[in-house]
Structure 1
Amino acid sequence: MAGTTHSARYTRVAIVLHWTIALLIIGLIVFGLLMTKEWMPNRFAIYQLHKSFGITVLALSIVRLIWRLRHKPPALPDAMPGWQQRASHLTHGVFYGLMFVMPLLGWAMVSASDLPIPTVLFGVVPLPDLPGLAQSEALEARFKALHEIGAKLFIGLIVLHVGAALKHQFIDRDGVLRRMLPILR
Structure 2
Amino acid sequence: MISAPSRYHPLAVTLHWLLAVILIIALVMGSQVLEKIPNTDPEKINALRGHMMAGGLILLLTLLRIFVRFKTIAPNPAPTGSALLDKVAALVHVLLNLVVIVMAISGIALAFSAGLPDIVFGGSGQPLPISFQDFPARAVHGIIAKVLMALIVLHIVDAIYHQFILKDNLMKRIWFGKR
Decide: shared fold, TM above 0.5. yes
Q: Which amino acid aligns with 2:55?
A: G
Deviation at residue 38 of structure 1 after TM alignment: 3.2
Alignment gaps of 5+ in structure 1:
1-5, 121-125, 127-136
Identify the range of structure 1 (67-76 vs 17-26) with the bigger mean alpha-carbon deviation. 67-76
The 1:85–1:112 alpha-carbon spacing in structure 2 relative to 1, beyond 3 Å, is same
Deviation at residue 79 of structure 1 after TM alignment: 5.7
Alignment of 1:95-174 (within 5 A): 95-114=96-115, 117-120=118-121, 141-174=135-168
Q: Which amino acid aligns with 1:159?
A: V
Deviation at residue 160 of structure 1 after TM alignment: 1.0
Q: What RMSD in Å do the two structures reach over aligned CA positions?
A: 2.8
Residue 36 of structure 1 aligns to a residue in which SS?
helix
CA distance in 1, matches of 2:18, 2:78: 25
The 1:17–1:63 alpha-carbon spacing in structure 2 relative to 1, beyond 3 Å, is same
Alignment of 1:4-23 (within 5 A): 8-23=6-21
CA distance in 2, matches of 1:151, 1:159: 12
Q: Deviations over 1:32-70 (max 9, x none)?
A: 020111378832211111100000011111111111111
The structure with the greater share of residues assigned to helix is 2
TM-score (norm 1): 0.78
Which residue of 1 is the match for residue 30 of structure 2? 32
Report how many aligned residue pairs link the two structures: 165
CA distance in 2, matches of 1:175, 1:17: 20
Which residue of 2 is the match for residue 92 of structure 1? 93
Which residue of 2 is the match for residue 133 of structure 1? none
Q: Which amino acid aligns with 1:35?
A: L
Q: Is the 8 A contact 2:159 2:170 kept in 1?
A: yes
Deviation at residue 100 of structure 1 after TM alignment: 1.0
Deviation at residue 72 of structure 1 after TM alignment: 3.0
Identity of aligned residues (%): 27
TM-score (norm 2): 0.81
Which residue of 2 is the match for residue 130 of structure 1? none
CA distance in 2, matches of 1:61, 1:140: 29
Deviation at residue 139 of structure 1 after TM alignment: 10
- For 1:178, which of 166, 172, 179 is the aligned residue? 172
Alignment of 1:19-98 (within 5 A): 19-33=17-31, 34-38=33-37, 42-78=43-79, 80-98=81-99
The 1:7–1:43 alpha-carbon spacing in structure 2 relative to 1, beyond 3 Å, is same
CA distance in 1, matches of 2:24, 2:164: 24
CA distance in 2, matches of 1:99, 1:147: 11
CA distance in 1, matches of 2:18, 2:45: 24
